[in-house]
Structure 1
Amino acid sequence: MNNQDKLKLSQNIAVIAGIFCAAVALLLLLNFWQISKTDPIESKALEALVERLKDDANNEELKEEIRNFDLLARKAYFNSQWQVETGAYMLLFGAIVLAFALRVYYSAKSKIEEPEKVLENEIASRIIAQKGIIIVGAAVMVLALLASFLSVNELKTYDVNALVADNESSTEDAVEVINVAPAQATTNEASEEVAPGENETSEVAIDGTATEATPEETASETVTEKTVAEPKPAAASSGPSLADIQINHNSFRGPLAQGVIKHKNIPTEWDSAAGTNVLWKVEVPKHGFNSPIIWGDKLFVAGANEASREVYCYNRNDGKLLWTGVADNISGSPATPPRVTDDTGLAASTLTTDGNAVFAIFGTGDVIAFDMNGKRLWARNLGVPDNHYGHSSSLITWDGKLFVQYDTNRGGKVMALDNKSGETVWETQRQAKISWASPVLAEVDGKYQLVLTADPIVAGYDVETGEELWSVECMMGEVGASVGYADGIVVAANEYARMVAIDIRTQETLWEDDFYLPEAASLLAHDGLLFAATSYGVFVCYDLKEGELLWEDDFGSPVYSSPVLADGKVYLMDNDGVMRIYEFSRELKKVGENALGEMSGPTPAFADGRIYIRGDEHVFCIGK
């Protein structure tokens, strides 16, 4: 290529790059202006709806309208953020290309032997024009980059402590326990009153005695952003076996949090209004969106409000309340809980148990352990989650360790705590943004790993050391659905993003889809099939390995609960409290529909011959 060709090519590239940069810069400025006019946390329309609700507090339709309005406003805002961030990178790329092309152009032009003869005043005019264009162009690009920076980082400065609930004087509605059987009083161990001075302790030791906290210990307890935590040996007890876990329902979505239940004789028909196949129901004292968990004859749920956080243990055979554990007097716990949305609350995370203790985490960042009789073992605060909806990632335990996914606006991390003491075994920082999804245990070539999903990565971690084993960058937005896992394949998805199937051994992407995407309902994968439920009421089945859509059922009701496979059938509860039951099949075969009689968002739990469902107010036991 001769000098003249280089001159012409570089000139054309510079012109194209200049036009591209100008167009992107103008779009960024327009987008910034639009975002600056929109506050994702507050809006006049939303305030007007809330004012209407004060005059009509029991209007459920108005409540749902407020929730939907807030959800749509936030999603639109975050989508605009992504556009601005992408545009900034495009502008930066265009500017680099433009600068390089101009450098080549002027270098080639200087080598031309006979420059054009022009008058001095013409040369001066050209120089002034060129300088003007460069100055204006640079100013536009600088403004655009500044606008993109300000837009993208607006919610990263969200101060959770400044947005605490501002009304602590609201009275609590009276709660009446349904006397299916005479309710027992709280056991002596669970109802021990806190002795004077005990509210000044930082952590409850394993033997239940309080240990006084020094100022240094208190300060270190509230630090949440550690770069690396030294791995410590796990507790001597390796925890229950897989067989023990499979005959119980010890975590969100059952054994290993995969949504596959081994129990048989699960009922498919009931009538809550008539009481048919409803063995008992009991009102839960405090509200929560966490799912029931089961070990032996005991069932556990949690509830919370601004005043207190509590764990409840019921006899799963007759619904008797056995004990109540209160999460209080925890060093670092905020005096006033953070602001959370109504559809998350302070008790959204499902508990877990290893058969020796039950573990809970609340939206305040408090983690607490009780033994199976309600005796408090230990408690600690992980730092108040910087989260504009509220914390909802559920707990899971394996091999003597309690795993906590703690992805917030301040950054992501995953932790393993010792089941017996609550001390940190290991802690791994993640290159991830905030997530509401929960960890899943996956067995790969005889070893277990923890699989997490967030924006932008899906990743696996060694359960013993916390080492990141693999990572695939494929997600975006507000990730709420946990992954599905089966046959060495991990499937992750998020609404307004994509669904991605990943070979866990090679990290190869097997297939992608962007049509039917879940918002909150986790994915169910098993034996060559994948099931997903959208928030707008479409339930679909895919071929797990190929990604082929096999069937869909559009029932139109919103869904937050996750599908669960039990006894050869897939159970899916919608938010209206209707359980839809399908054959586990490559063809659409609906077994039945059963109404609970009240709203329900949590995922049900299963035991032999029974289903345990948490509604807005009650826990129901369904059985023949």
Structure 2
Amino acid sequence: MKMVEGHFMRIPFSVGVVVLALIVLPVRGEDWNEFRGPTGQGEVSGVSLPVEWNDSESDSENILWKQQLDGLAWSSPIVVDGKIFMTCASEESEDSLSLQLIALDAETGDEFWRRELWTHSDDVQVHKKNSHASPTPICDGEHLYAHFGPQGTACVTLDGEIVWKQKLEYKPVHGNGGSPALAEGVLVICCDGGDRQFVVGLDRASGDIRWRTERETDPKKGFSFSTPLVIEVNGQQQAVCPGSDAVFVYDPQTGEEIWRVDYPGGYSVTPRPVYGNGLVYVCTGFNKPQLLAIDPTGTGNVTETHLRWSADRAIPHSPSPVFFEDSVYVVSDKGIATCFDAESGEVVWQERLGGNFSASPIVSDRKLYFQDETGTGIVLKASREFEELSRNNIGSGERTFASYAVDGDSILLRSESHLYRIGRN
């Protein structure tokens, strides 16, 4: 069921700690403009990222700078035109939170500006592994789009001026989570609460709701947190939007459903899908997570006709998959990494990395970069043979649920209270 709705229509920061070696930054590559980068799938091309780093009292290897952050947020950084943009939720008073968008200098970590977008009571309940600012902002090169679940969605210029605001009414469970996706002039957002589940397309210029499509399911637990992935199949754009009980795929310009695959009982779906080898790879969330490989060329309910393979051992609840060449790589929340043959679903290798994982991995220069929940970075070969290349840490033991971002040949790592730029010094 689809319906069109109407339109709803602006600071200070603690001094950062900057640790600088003699830094020579390379020519900047493609902007890291959304969650999981320019493709939305954690792929990094044309650069060589560091394989080893360390931040401790006795040694600081390849840590170009370290900036202290206030406020708790698990959104990932994005990088556009030499600036880092992030959201945060800072305490405004004993019972109020300030939901903000901040801009930092990518070379030094110094703050350029911050904008408060909303305030709300801090008695809003979130899961202990969540925050009040978990969705990652997205940029179209001229404007930033920051989403805070039902607290609001905003469009802001690169200089921090607010262009529009929009509110989407639903009741999330455990707080907000999924990030927006862009498809030409439309901002696509999954709104999966405990009370209602729908997907919207906001007009990028005005914030008006172009379309709103209800999910045609009746799940026992309707809440999910996935980020749409916009792909092109046979010349047509598709917005792949996993939710509870099913993945729905919509025309991002109209909200019309193209196809769906059911997985009854799946809920709290968090991983973002990936697309490669002509297949879409979707994780189904809790209870028993599965990885589904789906042919996206069908129409209607294609559960019985276009599901090419599925796997249900050591599949992640939280981290997104990575597709590279002929393989799909995942790490479970409990630290088991698996390489699947992308065509058949056959397990090529499966190894225990140790630790617990929430962040989504990236792939660069034939290497896989994983990060556990205490800041340990594990680098593996992206290969049909398992090989661990390094194991790195930031020493503080702070929680690290946010996913990596990349700027040039440097990694940006967000911990509970710091942002690190990791490069070669």
> Which one has the bigger helix percentage?
1
Q: Does 1:407 align with 2:192?
A: yes
State the match for 2:72 in structure 1. Answer: 287
- Residue type at the aligned position of 1:423: D
1:370 deviation in Å? 1.3
1:499 deviation in Å? 2.1
Q: Deviations over 1:327-382 (max 9, x none)?
A: 138xxxx6666221231121011111111111111144311121001111111221
| 1:479/1:588 CA distance change after superposition, 3 Å | same
State the match for 1:451 in structure 2. Answer: 240
Contact 2:18 2:108 in 1 (8 A): no
- What is the rounded CA distance, in whole Å, between the counterparts of 2:125 and 2:316 in structure 1? 25
Aligned with residue 460 of structure 1, among 221, 244, 249 = 249
Q: Does 1:268 align with 2:268?
A: no
- What is the rounded CA distance, in whole Å, between the counterparts of 2:155 and 2:341 in structure 1? 40
State the match for 1:599 in structure 2. Answer: 399
- Residue type at the aligned position of 2:230: L
In the TM superposition, what are the counterparts of 1:357-376 in structure 2 within 5 Å? Answer: 357-376=143-162
| 1:380/1:394 CA distance change after superposition, 3 Å | same
State the match for 1:351 in structure 2. Answer: 137
Equivalenced residues, count: 383
Contact 2:277 2:343 in 1 (8 A): no
Q: Does 1:611 align with 2:397?
A: no
| 1:363/1:461 CA distance change after superposition, 3 Å | closer
TM-score by length of 2: 0.85
State the match for 2:8 in structure 1. Answer: none
Aligned with residue 250 of structure 1, among 23, 29, 33 = 33
Q: Does 1:303 align with 2:88?
A: yes
Q: Deviations over 1:222-255 (max 9, x none)?
A: xxxxxxxxxxxxxxxxxxxxxxx98111111112
SS of match in other structure, 2:54: coil
Contact 1:353 1:359 in 2 (8 A): yes
SS of match in other structure, 1:450: strand
The Cα RMSD (Å) is 2.0
TM-score by length of 1: 0.59
Aligned with residue 474 of structure 1, among 263, 270, 273 = 263
- What is the rounded CA distance, in whole Å, between the counterparts of 2:346 and 2:140 in structure 1? 38
SS of match in other structure, 2:55: coil
Q: Does 1:623 align with 2:415?
A: no
State the match for 2:292 in structure 1. Answer: 500
In the TM superposition, what are the counterparts of 1:230-241 in structure 2 within 5 Å? Answer: none
State the match for 1:528 in structure 2. Answer: 326
In the TM superposition, what are the counterparts of 1:76-475 in structure 2 within 5 Å? Answer: 175-180=14-19, 247-273=30-56, 274-305=59-90, 306-328=96-118, 338-383=124-169, 385-432=170-217, 433-474=222-263
State the match for 1:22 in structure 2. Answer: none
- What is the rounded CA distance, in whole Å, between the counterparts of 1:464 and 1:620 in structure 2? 38
User: RCO greater where, 1 or 2, for CA within 8 Å and sep 6 or more?
Assistant: 2
- What is the rounded CA distance, in whole Å, between the counterparts of 2:235 and 2:407 in structure 1? 27
Contact 1:346 1:364 in 2 (8 A): no
| 1:500/1:328 CA distance change after superposition, 3 Å | closer
State the match for 2:4 in structure 1. Answer: none
Question: Which has the higher Rg, Structure 1 or Structure 2?
Answer: 1
Q: Deviations over 1:475-529 (max 9, x none)?
A: 5133222222212211222341422211111441111221111111111123221
- What is the rounded CA distance, in whole Å, between the counterparts of 1:544 and 1:576 in structure 2? 30
Stretches of structure 2 that go unaligned for 5 or more consecutive residues are: 1-12, 21-27, 91-95
Contact 1:477 1:497 in 2 (8 A): no
- What is the rounded CA distance, in whole Å, between the counterparts of 1:271 and 1:336 in structure 2? 35
Stretches of structure 1 that go unaligned for 5 or more consecutive residues are: 1-173, 182-244
Contact 1:485 1:526 in 2 (8 A): no
- What is the rounded CA distance, in whole Å, between the counterparts of 2:181 and 2:39 in structure 1? 8
- Residue type at the aligned position of 2:197: G
Q: Deviations over 1:306-343 (max 9, x none)?
A: 421111101111111000011138xxxx6666221231
SS of match in other structure, 2:97: coil
1:392 deviation in Å? 0.1
Contact 2:324 2:382 in 1 (8 A): no
> Which one has the bigger strand percentage?
2
1:401 deviation in Å? 2.0
